[in-house]
Structure 1
């Protein structure tokens, strides 16, 4: 209990804000390359054998990668209950679209090679493509809408009211730009994975697409920043900030203003590291992939993902989910968390189990290191998809 006393409420809230970012980045990096691989499947592989090579490059690991999605969802549910309630109700249709697409993936992996009919296999190949594209696109669109503010407000009794109408209102121009950035980012990452795990024409095609995707990431990230500066209002406190008070989103005053999402870069200059890594990672990925240096290219695209997602977090801090309808109802690090004791108990569990997950994941990738053997797949050796 001494540690519980030393870690005050404000500190625990910041720690869990950081951990939420770590889990989201972990999901984007670990599950991102197999989503990107799925999006590239119809384009980097022409023959059935080539497509089996692509599928088997992620087949043994994609299920384990989704642990990060479960961890992220669980962290939101336990550490940030109002955020969970608002996002999973207000963005329900978007969440359903992502869930439906993710369900297509295991079905596609398991059933694609059950029959030798070319049309059967081609249909499941496109299902895998959709299973990669939709989560990447819709997640990016959701982030774009978070930056603009969601249409919800709290009643006097803290009941949540969502003021949105349909899924299509999320598909606004800035949201779609963020969606395209997300797609390009994961295609870049998936292409570098294929560069690492495959040989021959598949690897060469992946290198070409990876280079194009890296250029798209740089361009879309720059355009998004310019758009955010000129055309998207940010949110800031007008009232005093109570960092260690009870979680009551209505106990503050907030205003919208242009350019606010860039204020943290002026007051905390070290935060500029985040967008710099977004650009430099994509640029390094482009250079390493064109030089056929697969491991540095994959690490560089992961660094770019880290930078892009971190940029969103540090730009918005301390806001987590702003409200366009009623800025006062916006959720922040200081008023949307669970209790002090709950955050502490969760932190202890995380300190114990997260290193175990990392150790096991490292061991699995070490065991599975190496390129996919096209000849073994052709012979039907092992348990290839």
Structure 2
């Protein structure tokens, strides 16, 4: 039998952490693209100003979406039960995200083909949809995970979903969606303010500051709602953390305040919500003061803290079931085999550093302000 240096329990924890890192990487890197798209009709008023913002994200948005591909691949390979249940339950929501994301490359390419202002404005609003809708729906999805998703498993572990698309749009889920939009807009505004000049940067600081404050307020409201207004989920039976995956081998109960129990057991976890709140407030201050790199670091820290808060609150759950709580998926019963996780970890140890190095090199090459003059000198500009 192949010797694997890390035991099954540790390997599952490693892949839970890696999934979180990939989601955070996507939110930080592609989140600023979504934020810039959302701000496009508001931070930029003229055709020239909108071209500046489009060329700010145009050279790098495809590379940033690698994090989304990696996250989807990690769920598919490391957490197949989670992939099956979530992709079937959130099917229409994911289709809406994909259709919105498709508008982005089409908008970039088609916008400049015709000089008619109405044509270009139409594509500007398409780029707004391509930024706003994915950010909103991603947050709504996280909100629904905290609420519990109505799915069940049969004896063969085949998932069945009993909810509807509009059933996902509950008040708490929409609140989570607005938190997601706010943090992406703040991230996008921080990048615009750092790399653009003049009225565009000034408007980005104004709208981004408002978004950062809104993110902090809604995140705090969401935390209070989770602590005092939502039932969480807790495993009340013994669970073997190194046993083969079988989500039906446990008993789960719903309890008030269960989602904040981890913070009582492990106070160090409070770093995550504190980072989400303080990072948003620091981002607001940085935008108001005209700081550049510190503001990007602050808004990135806010994203890290907000997503980490959701993951740490849910742990060990990956996808709780509101209709059949015992079928809820956890870190200990929804993963691939020990050997599969190990082989994937080796591949990740090789390719993830390469992706990070390449991304760093790209941003170094593309550094510097994006202005009307720089666009005029670039024959490949959008």
Superposed pair shares fold, TM > 0.5:
yes
Q: Which residue of 2 aligns with 1:114?
A: 113
- 1:211-267: CA deviation from partner (whole Å, max 9, x where unpaired): 101110110000001111122110001101210001000000000011000000010
How far apart, CA to CA, are the structure 2 residues paired with 1:124 and 1:255? 49
How far apart, CA to CA, are the structure 2 residues paired with 1:212 and 1:70? 31
Contact 2:4–2:339 at 8 Å: present in 1 too? Answer: no
- What is the aligned counterpart of 1:297 among 276, 295, 298? 295
- 1:248-297: CA deviation from partner (whole Å, max 9, x where unpaired): 00000000011000000010111111001001111111111111111110
- What is the aligned counterpart of 2:378 among 362, 381, 385? 381
Q: Which runs of 5+ in 2 are unaligned?
A: none
How far apart, CA to CA, are the structure 2 residues paired with 1:353 and 1:5? 20
Q: Which residue of 2 aligns with 1:327?
A: 325
RMSD value, Cα: 1.0
Q: Which residue of 2 aligns with 1:216?
A: 214
How far apart, CA to CA, are the structure 2 residues paired with 1:383 and 1:183? 30
Q: Which residue of 2 aligns with 1:46?
A: 45
Q: State the TM-score, normalized to the length of structure 2.
A: 0.99
How far apart, CA to CA, are the structure 2 residues paired with 1:294 and 1:267? 38
Q: Which residue of 2 aligns with 1:172?
A: 170
Contact 2:40–2:124 at 8 Å: present in 1 too? Answer: yes
- What secondary structure sits across from 1:6 in the alignment? coil
- What secondary structure sits across from 2:244 in the alignment? coil
Q: State the TM-score, normalized to the length of structure 1.
A: 0.98
Q: Which residue of 1 aligns with 2:151?
A: 152
- What secondary structure sits across from 2:24 in the alignment? helix
Q: Which residue of 2 aligns with 1:245?
A: 243
- What secondary structure sits across from 2:318 in the alignment? strand
1:380 is displaced (CA, Å) by 6.0
1:161 is displaced (CA, Å) by 1.4
Q: Which residue of 2 aligns with 1:31?
A: 30
Q: Please list every run of at least 4 consecutive aligned residues from structure 1 whose deviation after the TM superposition is greater than 3 angstroms.
A: none
Q: Which residue of 2 aligns with 1:130?
A: 129
Q: Which residue of 1 aligns with 2:87?
A: 88
How far apart, CA to CA, are the structure 2 residues paired with 1:116 and 1:44? 21
- 1:309-343: CA deviation from partner (whole Å, max 9, x where unpaired): 00000011000000000110000000000000000
Q: Which residue of 2 aligns with 1:288?
A: 286
Q: Which residue of 1 aligns with 2:200?
A: 202
- 1:346-379: CA deviation from partner (whole Å, max 9, x where unpaired): 00000011000000000000011101121233x3
